[in-house]
């Protein structure tokens, strides 16, 4: 009978061992599974910028690179500054003042306000002179102290140059600058009116290898009337004297009432 308890004990031990092994095995089978490593999502690239969006100005600022945005902002600031500077810029002067007056005020739109001068001088050059006769030949000459025009061929003649004088002015003096190196031929200058009236006359004397000037305050019909007459200067020339007689210029001095 003693054998039976031993068998029960052995069986119990075996069952315990089996049960223990199964528990441990079950515990091992229930161990937490390893956490899988998941790679972070790749950054999504923005939609490519189409050329027509830039051309049509439909590109949002937030889609532009920072450097481009800064450059555009600076460019916009410069455009604003330029526009402001243009608004303050003086317009090209379009107004004029008549002979005997001067510009007093220039308006922002380019127009001017004039004021009459109490005294003035108008000068003309012989280089602009036209011979009275079509057969007269002339040429330009540079002489010590001046530049003028002389007669190179044809009969002795005159060069005619218009002179603009202010209406209502009083002519007070007439001056003639010339080069006369010919001992046999003298030159002359005359201030004329278009009704063939002489206002003043000057004649050269002697010869010299330099530019000289003569003047007179003896003036006829001194009041200028541009509503009825035009005014011009006659420069006398000579084919015989040639380049030894060169009118240079003439000046008309006037005062306003």
pLDDT at 173 over 90: yes
Residue after which a domain boundary falls, among 72, 88, 117: 117
Provide the 10 A C-beta neighbour count for residue 227: 7
Verify that 105 and 222 share a domain, yes or no. no
Give the strands of the sheet with 231-236, arranged side by side.
130-131, 158-162, 231-236, 188-193, 197-203
Would 159 be classed as within a structural domain? yes
Residue at 74 is within a domain:
no
Residue among 180, 196, 191, 197 nearest 237 (CA):
180
pLDDT of residue 9: 52
E strand spans, the chain? 101-106, 112-116, 119-125, 130-131, 137-143, 146-153, 158-162, 170-180, 188-193, 197-203, 211-216, 231-236, 245-255
Say how far apart CA 236 and CA 190 lie, in whole Å. Answer: 8
What mean pLDDT is predicted for residues 69-93? 72
Domains of the chain: total? 2
Same domain, 85 and 157: no
Highest mean pLDDT: which range of 17-21, 82-86, 211-215:
211-215
Tell me: pLDDT of 18 over 50.
no
Query: 99, 117, 135: which is the final residue of a domain?
Result: 117
Structure confidence at residue 45 (pLDDT)? 54
Last residue of a domain, one of 117, 146, 168: 117
Based on the fold, state whether residues 126 and 236 are members of the same structural domain: yes
248 and 123 part of one domain: yes
Q: Rounded to whole angstroms, how far apart are CA atoms 247 and 231?
A: 18
Domain residues for the domain of 196 are: 119-255
Q: What is the pTM of this model?
A: 0.57
Q: Is the pLDDT of residue 201 over 80?
A: yes
Does residue 69 fall inside a structural domain?
A: no
Whether the CB-CB separation of 202 and 160 falls below 8 Å is answered with no
212 burial type by CB count under 10 A (0-12 exposed, 13-18 middle, 19+ buried): middle
Q: How far apart are CA 178 and CA 235, in angstroms?
A: 10
- Is 33 inside any structural domain? no
Residue at 192 is within a domain:
yes
Beta bridge partners of residue 213, listed in sequence order: 177
Instruction: Find tokens 């005997």 and name the residue.
Output: 100
Q: Do 92 and 129 reside in the same domain of the chain?
A: no
Same domain (yes/no): 123, 241: yes
Question: Is residue 241 located within the same domain as residue 131?
Answer: yes
pLDDT higher for 55 or 150? 150
Same domain, 92 and 134: no
The CATH number of residue 165's host domain is 2.60.120.260
Same domain, 129 and 190: yes
> Within this chain, do residues 130 and 107 fall inside the same structural domain, yes or no?
no
The pLDDT value recorded for residue 126 is 98
């Amino acid at each position: 009978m003693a054998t039976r308890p031993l068998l029960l004990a052995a069986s119990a031990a075996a069952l315990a061992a089996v049960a223990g092994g199964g528990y441990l095995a079950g515990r091992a089978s229930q161990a937490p599974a390893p956490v899988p490593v998941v790679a972070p999502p790749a950054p999504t690239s923005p939609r490519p910028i189409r050329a027509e969006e830039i051309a049509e100005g439909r590109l949002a600022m937030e889609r532009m690179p920072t450097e481009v945005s800064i450059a555009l902002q600076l460019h916009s600031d410069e455009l604003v500054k330029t526009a402001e500077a243009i608004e303050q810029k003086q317009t090209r002067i379009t107004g004029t003042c008549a002979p005997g007056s001067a510009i007093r005020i220039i308006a922002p739109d380019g127009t001017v306000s004039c004021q009459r001068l109490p005294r003035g001088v108008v000068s003309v050059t012989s280089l602009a002179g036209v011979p009275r006769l079509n057969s007269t030949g002339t040429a330009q000459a540079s002489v010590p102290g001046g530049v003028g025009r002389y007669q190179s061929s044809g009969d002795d003649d005159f060069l005619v140059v218009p002179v603009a004088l202010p209406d209502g002015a009083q002519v007070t003096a007439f001056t003639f600058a010339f080069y006369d190196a010919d001992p046999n031929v003298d030159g002359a200058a005359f201030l004329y009116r278009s009704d063939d009236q002489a206002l003043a006359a000057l004649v050269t004397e002697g010869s010299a290898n330099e530019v000289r000037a003569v003047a007179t305050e003896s003036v006829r019909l001194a009041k200028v009337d541009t509503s009825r007459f035009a005014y011009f200067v006659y420069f006398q020339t000579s084919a015989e004297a040639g380049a030894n007689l060169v009118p240079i210029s003439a000046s008309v001095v006037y005062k306003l009432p």
